[in-house]
Amino acid sequence: MKSSLFVYVLALSVLFISQKGNSQVTVESSNLTVGLSENLQFNALGIHATDKYHWVITDVQNNVVSDDSKEALSSFTFPHSGIYQLSITDIHSTQSEGCQHEHQNFNYQITVAPVQSSFNLSNIGFSSNLTAANLASGVIISIPLEVTLENGTNAVVNLNNFKAVVQGVDCQIAVQNLENAIVSTSGTYVLKFQLQGSAKPHNYIMIDFIDENGKATTYYHTTEL
């Protein structure tokens, strides 16, 4: 009986050591789209700003564009539009708590669009005060959009592809983009969105303005409805 128990324990020990020695790092692959001259965001990459890791970006010919020996990933910008590969390996979390990535690597195929756009929140305008009563009948928002197109390309921007989403407690507000122009030159264009729906008086709302790549810029309306 003792001999059988010894053999059973020994077998479990060998199995544990074997599994531990054969543990593999998992690799996650995904696709991202970013605008021209846009920095990569840590939350989109699945890592923390405080993590330690190695990274390398290559082009479609597998030429190294940049890596961690040249600059920080947070400050890297793509030299021109196209398709790139980003590999993040040897991830080590410096936080004692939270997500651990030691057994996970990331591979991304990144499409860099030949367009860079940004919403100018400082010059946002409203056709009337944002109140619950005015939203019931409709309020038009005007917001400047700064567009930069890459030189030497035939890039165009459909202004109707930009969206806005209203969020707030006890509000159901539909948003319609009123602009349909297609532009082919860099410059500043004014987008107009119509907001209409129900909202509870004295509550607060925020508006997410969303570009063609799904990146949101949030406007916080600091006055109650």
Q: Examine the domain organization and report whether 101 and 155 are in the same domain.
A: no
Q: In terms of residue numbers, what domain contains 64?
A: 25-113
Summarised one tens digit per residue, pLDDT across range 50-104 is 888 888 999 999 999 998 888 888 889 898 999 999 998 888 776 655 555 555 7
Residue 225 in any domain: the answer is no
Q: Examine the domain organization and report whether 35 and 96 are in the same domain.
A: yes
The secondary structure of 13-82 as a DSSP string is HHHHHHHHHT---EEEEEEEEE-TTPPPPHHHHT--TT-EEEEEEE-TT--EEEETTTS-GGG---SSSE
Residue 14 in any domain: the answer is no
Is the predicted pLDDT of residue 167 greater than 60, yes or no?
yes
Residue 17 in any domain: the answer is no
Q: Examine the domain organization and report whether 100 and 125 are in the same domain.
A: no
Residue 62 in any domain: the answer is yes
Residue 16 in any domain: the answer is no
Residue 194 in any domain: the answer is yes
Structural domain total, the chain: 2
CATH number at residue 170: 2.60.40
Confidence band of 190 (pLDDT split at 50, 70, 90)? very high
pTM above 0.85? Answer: no
Q: Examine the domain organization and report whether 99 and 56 are in the same domain.
A: yes
156 near 134, Cβ under 8 Å? no
184 near 156, Cβ under 8 Å? yes
Q: Examine the domain organization and report whether 128 and 209 are in the same domain.
A: yes
Q: Examine the domain organization and report whether 96 and 179 are in the same domain.
A: no
Q: Examine the domain organization and report whether 216 and 127 are in the same domain.
A: yes
pLDDT reported for residue 100: 52
Rounded mean pLDDT of 188-195?
96
Residue 90 in any domain: the answer is yes
Mean pLDDT score across all residues of the chain: 83
Summarised one tens digit per residue, pLDDT across range 2-39 is 444 444 444 444 444 444 444 455 656 788 888 888 88
Q: Examine the domain organization and report whether 104 and 170 are in the same domain.
A: no
Better-scored residue on pLDDT, 151 or 142: 142
